[in-house]
A and B are shown apart, each in its own frame.
Chain A
Amino acid sequence: TQLLEQSPQFLSIQEGENLTVYCNSSSVFSSLQWYRQEPGEGPVLLVTVVTGGEVKKLKRLTFQFGDARKDSSLHITAAQPGDTGLYLCAGVGSYQLTFGKGTKLSVIP
């Protein structure tokens, strides 16, 4: 079973601060996805990273896939209260995703 470890588990920061969350695995994934889940809703895909060393930017969010395709990070610049939610990484397999346990982010106004 491929496992994904996310850290930190919880993060509470002030509006305007920067933060980074991590997703690590002992296994190689062909690609990795990041989802955000708001309270009471299902997860929504933010990005898919495919190539080792790849960096993708989505407005204030920067996603990086490790060179060995075993780890990934999500960096948020100048966090906003609207960034509050559960951030999940997921390793992509043939027919299914393997999810990490998530990082719960709270951005305080």
Chain B
Amino acid sequence: NAGVTQTPKFQVLKTGQSMTLQCAQDMNHNSMYWYRQDPGMGLRLIYYSASEGTTDKGEVPNGYNVSRLNKREFSLRLESAAPSQTSVYFCASSRGGAETQYFGPGTRLLVL
């Protein structure tokens, strides 16, 4: 039981490049989430998927897109990376909205 896995662990991009962050969970959870964590800012929700087939914007969605590929997988795409998107990105999953969220180990992204 791996829980929530994220790839890659680290990534360096140049401004304007695109990339997709991958997330998968093996707990049969309905809901999945993408957060970014910046120093002094806590965790901010980018997008979430309450159930398979649905996605909704969170607090800071600009510059990102998501895909809930199936019940297990939820990807985050940066179409044209900007230095302001330098951050640590966490994926999480839960059985439902008010339930415990289980977090992955994070992806550290640096945009030059």
Which residues of chain A have a CB within 8 Å of any CB of chain B? 1, 9, 30-31, 33, 40-45, 48, 88, 92-97, 99-102
Contact = CB atoms under 8 A, between A and B. Distances in A.
B98 A42 contact: no
Closest 7 CB pairs of A and B: A42-B103, A101-B42, A95-B97, A99-B43, A99-B42, A95-B50, A45-B100
Contacts of B48: 95-96
Contacts of B40: 9, 101
Given A96-B33, A96-B58, A45 B42 contact: no
Nearest to B98: A92
B34 to A, nearest CB: 11
5 contacts: A42-B106, A88-B43, A95-B48, A96-B33, A101-B42
Q: In this complex, which of B43, B103, B104 has the most chain A Cβ atoms within 10 angstroms of its Cβ? A: B43
Contacts of B98: 30-31, 92-94
Contacts of B45: 96-97
Nearest to A31: B98
B25 interface: no
A63 to B, nearest CB: 15
